[in-house]
Amino acid sequence: MTTLEVALLYATWSKCTETECFLSQSGVALTEENLLFLEAWRTIDRAYIDKTFNGQSWFRYREDALRNEPMNTRQETYAAIKKMLATLDDPFTRFLEPEKFKSLRAVRNSKCTYWSRVVNWLSIGEK
């Protein structure tokens, strides 16, 4: 059993979080970048439909990535997240950096605003 698996097992029996248990068992300090990667990993773990994760051990992938992927800068962490998502081989699962996500939301909101004006205009015209 790996240190991470022991930490996860211990987390189910105690009140510490998964990350706190991993730290206490392994003696490894996680950086802010590691925590960002873990947040992305956890999001996929909870929400992804294919629970086989394209035939891979999802927990093992997390452990290997934390050990082997460079995550010293935000760009390296984003690259590690994109690499993780690529292993799922799913064209509908993507990672958008915050700036790109904000741009997408702005476009979507502007279109919604436009269409709500059209609907309002049409409904006013019908009266």
Which tens digits make up the pLDDT trace of 41-69?
999 999 999 999 999 999 999 999 999 99
State whether 82 and 124 are in the same domain: no
Q: Average pLDDT of the chain?
A: 79
70/110 same-domain check: no
Q: What total of structural domains would you count in the chain?
A: 2
Per the CB < 8 A criterion, the answer to whether 38 and 31 are in contact is no
Both structure tokens of 16: 């510490």
- Answer yes or no: do 26 and 54 share one domain: yes
User: What's the domain range around 113?
Assistant: 96-127
Looking at the fold, whether 51 and 104 belong to one and the same domain comes out as: no
Tell me which residue has tokens 């997408």.
104
**pTM tops 0.75, yes or no:** no
- Going from the C-alpha of 111 to that of each of 45, 66, 101, 107, 122, the distances in angstroms are 32, 40, 15, 6, 16
